[in-house]
Amino acid sequence: MKRYSKLILPVAFCLCSVLQVVAEKADTVEVKKSGVAVGLKYLSNNVYLGRIDSANIMYLVPSVGYYHKSGLHVGASLNYQLDAGLNRIDAVTLEGGYDFKLGTDFSGGLSVEKYFYDMNSIALNSVNDLGITSNFSYDFSFVTLNLGGGLAFNDKIDFITEAGVNKSFEVGKFTIEPTLKLNAGTQNYYNTYLANGKSHLNGNNGHGKNQGSAKSTATLTVAEASSYKMLDYEISVPVSYTYHHFKFNIIPTYAIPVNAATILSSTGTVEKENITNHFVVQMEVAYKFE
């Protein structure tokens, strides 16, 4: 964490400044009840910014969180990997943040997440240690605009942004929310992923770090990994249903990655990152105790 200290302090100062501004407008924030929420989520594949490395990574994710009526919240979750012949806890996440709503149209949130991944995890985002994210949305009635940005800390730091639009429809007791989202950012995470020998390009067969039968001895790097560029487009149609304190969600998503990275080898070879479109389904049930 020492290498992040110079950046974390100013980021924390900026977050505190934003929270102070929000607090000064507290009279416009919607009144909520405090409570504890527990949830269980199923993810058919861990797609990160439209990408996977090789093997499918299916997760079952139990979670628990405390949500204060002021908007402050803390929580924890774990990712239990179900496929690739593995049944293990692949990651544990601790999270804290603040959500707010000003008036009826503007809302936002700030959060910090600390990740603890299994050393043999092959998830592309398993090289990230810490994440700081923000998101803001404005309802224009005919459509809602969403903007977000964040920092992902690995050997270096990635800057990731997202922009999207969505529209909610009520169909009986169901809420349907067609969404289009664009993700852009840097790819230092992929450079670290290759350096750690996690990729199939290093001979990893999907069962752990450097476990492949044909392990590569070449050093692989991503050309211009710190360059900011469009990474993927995502189309999703979330459907939710609320029954008393229960909430059920299903989120089918089609991810279209773009701008494949150029991978350089110490042997002098050059190849392009293998990117393909992915269809992912996320299903979740949550219960809030108030």
Residue pLDDT, tens place only, 55-110: 889 999 999 999 999 999 999 999 999 976 678 999 999 999 999 999 999 999 99
Q: What is the DSSP letter of 31?
A: P
Cα–Cα distance between 251 and 70 in angstroms, integer?
28
What pLDDT is stored for residue 32 in this prediction? 74
Q: Of 102, 99, 237, whose CA–CA distance to 168 is shortest?
A: 237
Q: What is the DSSP letter of 21?
A: H
Residue 8 has pLDDT above 70, yes or no: no
Structure tokens of 19? 């929270």
Written as one letter, the residue type at 235 is I
Structural domain of 87 = 2-289
CATH of the domain at 12: 2.40.160.40
The number of beta carbons lying within 10 Å of the beta carbon of residue 257 is 23
Average pLDDT, the chain: 87
Cα–Cα distance between 51 and 124 in angstroms, integer?
8
Residue 270 has pLDDT above 70, yes or no: yes
The number of beta carbons lying within 10 Å of the beta carbon of residue 57 is 26
pLDDT bin (cut points 50, 70, 90) of residue 158 is very high
Instruction: Tell me the pTM.
Output: 0.84
Residue 49 has pLDDT above 80, yes or no: yes
Q: How many domains does the chain have?
A: 1
What pLDDT is stored for residue 121 in this prediction? 93
- Beta strand ranges found along 172-269 (DSSP E): 174-176, 179-185, 220-222, 229-236, 239-243, 246-257, 262-265
What pLDDT is stored for residue 208 in this prediction? 55
Alpha-carbon separation of residue 220 from 197, 201, 203, 229, 248 (angstroms): 9, 8, 12, 21, 43
Radius of gyration of the chain (CA): 20
Q: Can you tell me the mean pLDDT for 173-190? A: 97
Query: Angle at Cα 161 formed by Cα 165 and Cα 66, nearest 5°?
Result: 80
Q: State pLDDT tens for residues 211-265.
A: 444 455 678 999 999 999 999 999 999 999 999 899 999 999 999 999 999 999 9
